[in-house]
Amino acid sequence: MSLIYRRRPNQPSIAHVLQDYLGEISPFARRVDRRLLAPPLILLKTIEWAIYRWYKTPIRRFYGVKGNELIYMITSRCTDRCAKCGIWKTPESARDHLPVAHFIDCLNRLHENLYQLTITGGEPLEYSDDLLAIAGVAGNLQVPMLIVTNGVLLTERFLRTYAGLGHTLVISLDTMDRAKWADYRGRDHYDLVMGNIALARTILGGKLRIQSVLAAETREDIPRVKAFCDAHSIPHITQLYMDFGGSWHSAGGAPDSGLACAARKNICIYPNGDVVKCFDHRRIPLAKEPLGNIAKEDIISILCKKRSTEVSKVMKTCNFPCKQLLCNTPTFPYGA
C-alpha cells in the first residue's frame, strides 16, 4: 500500500473533463434553433452528460440517439489523380470490395444512432447504383445522407433520383482556373466538371454544396471559387489541407479550438467493410487494427467490444492535425 496517489496514464484531468463537456454541449447548443429553449435544453443535456460520464454502459455512452455519423469510404478507386490526395494510389481489388447488402444491413442496425450518413472515397460515383440503393434505404430510415464527389461521373439520371430522395451532394472544386486544372486533378476535364456542377445546381437546388481544400497552392484560388459559389447561391465549405499522401503543402493550421477531437462520434467503414473510429486510427496504437468487419460481424457487436470502448476513450484526449478535418470537428458544416 502507498500513500502516493498514482494517476493512471489515461485517467482524465480536469482539463479533459472540461474538454469532454464542451465537446458534447457546444455542438448540441448550436443545433437548438429557438433561443428561449436553449437554457433548459442545455441544462437537461448537462444532466444527461453528467449521468453518462460517471455511470455508463459502453454502447449508450458512445453511441447516443442520433448522436453519431456513419462515414463510408465506399471505394478507394478514383477517376482522378489529384496532387493533394494519395487515396487513388491504392485502389481496392474487386475481390476486396464490400457487397452493398452488408452496408445496408449495417445502416439498418445503426439508423437510430445516426444524425448523418456520409459517403466518400476514392470516387463514390464509381458505384453509383450502390449509392442510389443506399440513398433509398437512408431515405426510408430518415437518415440524412451526403455524398462527397469530384463531379466527374454525375449524370442527369443519378441527380434526379438522388434529388428525389432529398439528400445532399458535396462537389469538390479547388480552382476556377482552366490552366491549373490538369495539374490539380491529374485529368483535363474542366468543361465536364463545370457542366456537371451547373446541372447539379439546377436539379438539386439548395441541396448542393461545394468544398475546396485550402493549401499553400490554392490560397489564390479559394476566394475565386467562393465568389463563384456566392454568384450561384451554392453554400461553400473550406477544408484545410491535410497530409493524405498528396504533394501539396499546408497553408498554415487553424488555431487549436481546445476542444476534444470529435471523431469519437464517428463510425467509419473502409471499402472492404473494416470498421474504425476515425480514418487516421493508425496514429493511435490501440486502434491500429480495425475493430471488426461488417461482412463478418454485426456492427453493434463490433461497437460493443471492449477495445471499441477503450479506443473511444483514448480518442477523447487525442490531438493530431487530423482533428481539424471537417468530419472530425463537432460542427456540422455540410448541413445535410
Ligand X SMILES: C[S@@+](CC[C@H](N)C(=O)[O-])C[C@H]1O[C@@H](n2cnc3c(N)ncnc32)[C@H](O)[C@@H]1O
Residues lying near ligand SF4 in the complex (CB under 6 A):
78, 80, 82, 85, 87-88, 121-123, 150, 261, 263, 278, 280, 283-284, 315, 318-320, 322-323, 328
Residue 171 DSSP class:
E
Q: Could you give the CA distance from residue 166 to residue 139 in angstroms, rounded to a whole number?
A: 8
Question: Of residues 207-236, which lie at the interface with ligand X (CB under 6 A)?
Answer: 211, 213
Candidate residues 70, 169, 200, 242; the one interacting with ligand X per rule CB under 6 A: 242
Q: Does residue 148 touch ligand X according to CB under 6 A?
A: yes
Shortest Å distance, C-beta 236 to ligand SF4: 17
Q: Could you give the CA distance from residue 147 to residue 167 in angstroms, rounded to a whole number?
A: 8
Q: For the sheet with 114-120, list strands across it.
A: 236-240, 208-214, 168-172, 145-149, 114-120, 68-73, 266-269, 274-276, 292-293
Q: Does residue 149 touch ligand X according to CB under 6 A?
A: yes
Q: Which residue lies nearer to ligand X by CB, 84 or 264?
A: 84
Q: Could you give the CA distance from residue 89 to residue 83 in angstroms, rounded to a whole number?
A: 11
Candidate residues 21, 49, 228, 244; the one interacting with ligand X per rule CB under 6 A: 244
Q: Does residue 120 touch ligand X according to CB under 6 A?
A: yes
Q: Does residue 123 touch ligand X according to CB under 6 A?
A: yes
Alpha helices for the chain (secondary structure H): 14-31, 38-54, 58-62, 100-110, 128-140, 156-164, 178-185, 190-204, 221-231, 299-304, 306-315
Q: Does residue 87 touch ligand X according to CB under 6 A?
A: yes
- Return the one option of ligand X, ligand SF4, none that residue 260 interacts with (CB less than 5 to 8 A, by type): none
38-54 helix and 14-31 helix, angle to the nearest 10 degrees = 140
- Return the one option of ligand X, ligand SF4, none that residue 213 interacts with (CB less than 5 to 8 A, by type): ligand X
Shortest Å distance, C-beta 214 to ligand SF4: 14
- Return the one option of ligand SF4, ligand X, none that residue 167 interacts with (CB less than 5 to 8 A, by type): none
| Count of residues near ligand X by CB under 6 A | 18
Residues 6+ apart with CB under 8 A from 135: 145, 161, 162, 165, 167
Shortest Å distance, C-beta 141 to ligand SF4: 26
Task: Tell me if 41 sits within 8 A of 61, measured CB to CB.
Answer: no
Greatest Cα-to-Cα distance within the chain, rounded to the nearest angstrom = 74
Task: Tell me if 122 sits within 8 A of 101, measured CB to CB.
Answer: no
Interface with ligand X by CB under 6 A: which range of 20-28, 64-72, 105-113, 116-124?
116-124
Per-residue burial over 228-252, b if 16 or more Cβ lie within 10 Å, else e, is bbeeeebbbbbbbbbebebebeebe
Shortest Å distance, C-beta 80 to ligand X: 7
Interface with ligand X by CB under 6 A: which range of 5-13, 43-51, 62-70, 241-249?
241-249
Q: Does residue 197 touch ligand X according to CB under 6 A?
A: no
Q: Which residue lies nearer to ligand SF4 by CB, 120 or 168?
A: 120
Residue type, 137: V
Residues that bind ligand X (CB under 6 A): 78, 84-85, 87, 120-121, 123, 148-150, 172, 211, 213, 239, 241-242, 244, 246
